[in-house]
């Protein structure tokens, strides 16, 4: 029951659902996610922490940067089903399509420069 409640809590926010959808495109640096959503870094970190605690995202640290990705095939079945359900449920959503288009542009940016720019702001 606890796992189910963590997952449903994580999915109860539009920004977290959108984050799951962009993480389906591949591993992203927190700076890239922050750039995409235009939210404060602390807000992004809180959302990612909730996804992580629910098992819906994994992270790794490399130097100063933290990267997030969807869990691998070893994740619990409930997590894999939840991620699949989200992807199927919002397939074709206009906001998700806009995020995907913006993400393509962000992925073309130098991540180091992007992170430095965000640190200055």
Q: What is the mean pLDDT of residues 105-116?
A: 85
pTM: 0.91
CA angle at 4 for the pair 66 and 83, rounded to the nearest 5°:
55
pLDDT single digits (tens) 30-76: 999 999 999 999 999 999 999 999 999 999 998 888 999 999 888 99
Dump pLDDT digits (tens) for 9-38. 999 999 999 999 999 999 999 999 999 999
Residue 36, token pair as written in the block: 């995409």
Domain limits, the chain: 2-120
- The domain over range 2-120 is classified in CATH as 1.10.600.10: no
C-beta atoms surrounding 49 within 10 Å? 13
Residue 111 or residue 105, greater confidence: 105
pLDDT of residue 37: 95
Q: What is the DSSP letter of 29?
A: E
Nearest to 71 by CA among 49, 50, 56: 56
């Amino acid at each position: 029951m606890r796992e189910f409640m963590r997952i449903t809590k994580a999915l109860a926010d539009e920004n977290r659902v959108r984050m799951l959808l962009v993480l389906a495109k591949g591993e992203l640096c927190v700076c890239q996610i922050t750039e995409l959503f235009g939210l404060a870094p602390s807000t992004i970190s809180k959302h990612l922490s909730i996804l992580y605690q629910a098992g819906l995202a994994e992270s790794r640290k490399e130097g100063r940067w933290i990267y997030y990705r969807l869990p691998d095939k070893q994740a619990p079945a409930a997590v894999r089903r939840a991620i699949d359900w989200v992807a199927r449920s919002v397939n074709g959503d206009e906001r998700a399509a806009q995020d995907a288009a913006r993400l393509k542009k962000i992925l073309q940016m130098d991540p180091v420069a992007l992170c430095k720019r965000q640190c200055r702001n």
